[in-house]
Structure 1
Amino acid sequence: MKVNIEIDCTPVEARQFFGLPDVVPMQTAMMDKMQQQMMSNLDKISPESLIQTWFSFDPKIAERFQDMFVAMAGLGSPKKDKK
């Protein structure tokens, strides 16, 4: 014998039926806090501030970036031997 029971209810109704706590206020508070933190740190991830932070560590970093881009551009072309 096989019995199928189908219950049509919302997630809130299911939580209430099983006696689970209402987590909506906690989720709302956490999302508000995360949004506030993200908005306060938004200026730290702007391109200008990132470049300023990167270049403030090492005075030769500009040279290293240039060398890295030259090396990456050279990967696609075959190297010629100087004989």
Structure 2
Amino acid sequence: VRFSELRKMVNVVTPKVLTQTLRTLERDGLITRTVHAQVPPRVDYELTAVGKSLLEPLSMLREWAESHVPAILEARDAYDDAQD
């Protein structure tokens, strides 16, 4: 996936933060970064085998979070009400 495509997928993040995050993921061995010698320069990012091994656990975490949103929001409201 190219940087611009990633940016569109997570449009709530600034380019600087996305770049820093991608560098960290690359350093941790979760993605690879391939620079293509062309004009304009093209950079592609791809999950490594270790990165791909996170897909299932992250999917399960997302499913858990989505199914517990009502309880989480209720707990937040109760907490906030108690703080007032």
Give the TM-score normalised by the residue count of structure 2. 0.32
Higher RCO (Cα < 8 Å, 6 or more apart): 2
Structure 1 or 2, whichever has the larger Rg, is 1
Larger strand proportion of the pair:
2
Give the TM-score normalised by the residue count of structure 1. 0.32
